[in-house]
A and B are shown apart, each in its own frame.
Chain A
């Protein structure tokens, strides 16, 4: 089985998620080749063939041109599947490629499951197993499969290594209907919770805005970041850039401490991939208890200061 991995490059840098593509191919037991529209200045550590196209010429993302580049690599390699990260890049590009090839697409794969791909459904409340007809990657045949993987779902097992065997890709023209005008930073210079190893989140159970610093103090004692549930953000207690959940950020820290968060589906969807979840809640039957590894049944404002004191000793 051969996978064509589509690496990602933004604002002059290779994105780390590129390595997750290789981790996914390894889990699939597939050989791989990679395509990157990037630059020689920042090449991935990769053992294998890398089709490199110049981002200076074809844009960091020009949908028309990047589609043509992918199709060119497909023609050269005849892969069984094409794998993207389910980022805004893969989001936009993968379905274009799939329809151009009349290929089946499976979006945002979170796990491999006995000959099928596991994907989220119904706002991550449910999982579906989806299979391209003919197997995970129908060998050498059309329809091949176009796949996007959830960022963070397939972590590389070790440090990536190797030097790619470069092969340049060129298009005959660079004409495109879409004209790139510019980038603009998001309005809220936000906290990137997706990379945080420890997150301590405040929920409605903290009671009032004045209590939020108590939760923030625990976050800092643990060396982590402050997160928040939607009601707390909607009430204006914490800035939206800290929101965890379907309308905020999706996180996968090593440790997630939910303080006074009952566990609405939308919140759980954003944090349930944490390795270890501690819930502090006065209701032992709150939904958060269903997914927490450890539950402390307590009043948040009584327990958290005591906990912070022990952590900081």
Chain B
């Protein structure tokens, strides 16, 4: 039994409450802007202006969703981080503000907003003010293409479905480093300057493996569209990109056929994995699966470096550079830096989820459900009946259609698991040195990512993933 199971229980409860708050408020805002106001406007009269306003409101929905989501989510993530670290280090964590410390970060945010905004003597006031904005802006517009994938391509968010979504996200993710260097330079502080320069070096080194591991997945899925990549991973964890990006599709179909008693099981297997060249097929599948798993962990590592998390937090390096590039920042500017940092962490986690971990798709394969409920058919039947009965109601409340709802739930579970993993890493590892960081980036990660890319290209040519 865990020694601090009571703390664990409190932590879980707190997480659930906060998630309800976040997604309740986001849903509420979206419902008001995307459904309620347009409906009211259209009911007011058959007027061109009203129709135009209704349409504008609907197009505004993704923006509102992002603007409501980002601050509340950052508050929640800071709380998760502090309570999570407390959990790992036999402490209590913040537990005084609000019931069980629930409102601690909200209070912190209010405090930061009301603190004096100081521009140090000798600082370049324009750049100093611009830096947090440039740091924060990409995390807003970088998260736009993700919305379509997260909501399962809901009608209201369909306009955010860019055909080159992942390209857009990568482009956006390379902008924040400009903000860091700018802030470090403008602060008129040598610690900040060293932190900013370290950040530039680090971002350049780690962008390459990050992009290469994503390109591998794009190549496997033959698409740059996040919604399409997400939709190709439906139907259980065997179809996820982390397990070969479709290399195990045949296996999934074969099991399905086998459990449902269908007679063409062997034909499916034969179609996907022809037996006349089985040695080559097995090697190719193994190569694909191993290299995509490596790509996933490479992505996680490079993403940790991109968002300056321990063990790659050299730009901040508290025990060396005081606080690195944000040493001189206070008040609302510091709050923006802080906000952007945690939003970036969330974004890289959700990219990992969409690209590798099956986005909002159910991780439990259909054949497993069939197998488990073979003899107890009344459970799926009951669920079906309830869904049938509720469907008119659900369709009335537009945003909670079952596809969007389950997509969002699975996204939350997977993404916050990755966030929690990042917190766990932070609670475990010390920091790299700058030369070791560079060595690791250029001498290990980049060759490895190129190798993975080439293996994937050759293996993909051998096996047939589109039957």
Q: Do A and B bind each other?
A: no
